[in-house]
Amino acid sequence: MTDAPIAFESSPSLSAAVVRRALVRDTARRSLARRRLAGRVATSLCTVALCISLVPLVALIAYIISRGLPALSGGFLVHTPTPEGIPGNGIGNAIVGTLIIVGLAMAMAVPVGLAASLFVVERPGKLSGALRFAANVLTGAPSIAIGVFAYAVFVVNFGYSGLAGSFALTVLMLPIMLRFNEEAMFTVPADLWEAGLALGSPRARVVRSVVLRSALPGIVTGNLLAMARAIGETAPLIFTIFGSQFFVFRPTSPMSAMPLTIYDNATQAYPDAQQTAWGTALVLMVLVIILSVVARVVAAHLNRKTR
């Protein structure tokens, strides 16, 4: 009992006795035909739910494409912005800026998130409970608060920079990654834990060598979902990166990013600006979709390797 593996609730084994009791009660009361009918009604309701889910999706994506596609002409993806009325507008610097800022944020967030979630999973206790609670609370923090925080810590002392933006995004992603990593590790079935423990390994070793490998697809998916969320956030960037009309590669300088471009342009009256905003939104969405698909492919590949 003392070295028992962590008792986790998500062990998918509901007691079959409970299932049996519920079913016997149910079956005794209803006939097969009525049960089948209930099943069909429920399936129809769920199908309705799916259709309702798809309506905003289709409408949103159709709208973004219809307004953004006209912007994707010529060198939109490689030029830098030009003032209103001057042709040759582009978001090349914003794309580069987004990649740099998000790349740096991932480099900071992924290791810290993984290490912290390992701490929470391997050493259950008051401290890890507190960390989990803190992560839950932080996921409810408005992204503007995180931007304010990054401003107070970075910009006040070092000036505007892409790195301050990366820091803000890291703070945004960390709690999400922590929760996802933890949930992923808990879906690993009990047998794998037991097998590792049965071989005499200490708990930490079991987690590191066995559980982490099995949970890796889930962890990868979760981390990439957190990144997808962070890529589209505007508020943390408004206070930290300042923006720029030129190509910038040094993270310690002010730079541009796509959400900032969307925000600045969507709030202007001129048709050029409006089109740029929606074009950027389209590019951003395509980028995130590509990354999500990559996430799934990587996760599936890793899944095949470990199972």
Partner 1 sequence: MSSLLAPDGFAGADPSSPVRGVREALERRRARAHGHVYAVVRWAGAGIFAAVFVTLLVTLFDQASAALGHMGIAILWTGWNPAKNQYGAGVFIVGTLLTTLVALVVAVPIGIGTAVLLSELAPRWIAAPFTLMVEFLAAVPSIVVGLWGLIVLTPLFATHVEPFLKKVPLLNVLFHGTAYGASVLLAGVVLAVMILPTIVALSRVAMSGVAVADREAGLALGATRWQVVSKAVVPGARRGIRASITLAMGRALGEAIAVALVIGNNTSLPHSLLSPGATLGSAIVNSFSEATPGSLEKSGVVALVVVLLAISVLVNAGGQLLLRARKPGLPPRGPVTESASPIMPTVPGVPDTAGTTT
Partner 2 sequence: MFKHRFPILVTIGVVALGAAACSSSSSSSTTTVTTAQPGSSPGGALGGSADTSTPTVSLTGAGASSAQPFLTRAFYDYNRSNPNVTVNYSPTGSSVGISDIQANNVNFGQSEIPMSSSDLAKATGGPILQLPIDLGGVAISYNVPGTPKNLHLNGNQLAQIYLGKITDWHQIDSSIPSGIHIVAVHRADSSGPGYDLDQYLIDTSPTWVTATGTTTASKTWPEANVGIGQQLNSGVATYVKQTPGAIGFIEYSYALQNKFTNASLLNKAGAYVAPTTASIAAAGSHAANLSASNYNIVNGTGRGTYPLANFSWSLIYQKQKMINTGIALGKLLDWVSSTGQRNALPLGYAPLPANVQAVAHATLLKLEDSTGSALFSS
Any bridge partners for residue 217, and if so which?
A: none
Q: Tokens for 208?
A: 């590191």
Q: Residue 66 interacts with partner 1 (CB under 8 A)?
A: no
Interaction of residue 278 with partner 2, rule CB under 8 A? no
Residue 242, helix vs strand vs coil: strand
Out of 39, 70, 75, 159, which residue is the one contacting partner 2 (CB under 8 A)? 159
Residue with Cβ nearer partner 2 (180 or 239): 239
Copy the structure tokens of residue 280. Answer: 């950027």
Helices (H), the chain: 16-29, 32-68, 92-122, 126-139, 143-150, 156-158, 162-186, 190-198, 203-206, 212-231, 235-238, 258-266, 271-306
CB of 186 to partner 2, least distance (A): 20
3-state secondary structure of 250: coil
Which of 47, 73, 136, 268 is the binder for partner 2 (CB under 8 A)? 268
Q: Is 261 in the site for partner 2 (CB under 8 A)?
A: no
Scanning residues 145 to 184, which ones bind partner 1 (CB under 8 A)?
145-146, 148-149, 152-153, 171, 174, 176, 178-179, 183
Query: Considering the complex, what minimum distance in angstroms separates the CB of residue 100 from partner 1?
Result: 18
Interaction residues for partner 1, span 17-36 (CB under 8 A)? 17-24, 26-27, 32, 35-36
Out of 91, 120, 155, 219, the residue judged to bind partner 2 by CB under 8 A: 155
Q: Which does 161 bind (CB under 5 to 8 A by kind): partner 2, partner 1, none?
A: partner 2
From the list 91, 104, 262, 281, which residue makes contact with partner 2 (rule: CB under 8 A)? 104
Q: For residue 22, give every residue at least 6 positions away whose Cβ sits within 8 Å of its Cβ, in sequence order, or none.
A: none
Q: CA-to-CA distance for 210 and 208, rounded, in angstroms? A: 6
Which residues lie closer than 8 Å to 92 by C-beta, 6 or more apart?
Answer: 75, 77, 78, 79, 80, 247
Per CB under 8 A, contacts with partner 1 among 67-86 are none
Residue 90 contacts partner 2 per CB under 8 A: no
Establish if 66 lies at the interface with partner 2 (CB under 8 A).
Answer: no
HSE value, Cβ hemisphere, 13 Å, CA-based, for 221: 18
- Counting other chains too, the contacts that 266-272 makes at CB distance below 8 Å and 24 or more residues apart are 268/84, 270/84, 270/85, 272/84, 272/85, 272/89
Rg of the chain taking only CA atoms, in angstroms: 24
The amino acid occupying position 88 is G
Question: CA 234 to CA 266: how far, in whole Å?
Answer: 12
**Which DSSP symbol is given to 255?**
B
Site pattern 163..202 for partner 2 (x: CB under 8 A): x---------------------------------------
**Binding flag, residue 303, partner 1 (CB under 8 A):** no
Q: Given candidates 94, 101, 102, 108, which one binds partner 2 under the rule CB under 8 A? A: 108
Least distance between partner 1 and beta carbon 252 (Å): 20
The residues that touch partner 2, with contacts defined as CB under 8 A, are 82-86, 104, 107-108, 110-112, 114-115, 155-156, 158-161, 163, 208-209, 212-213, 238-239, 242-246, 251-254, 264, 266-271
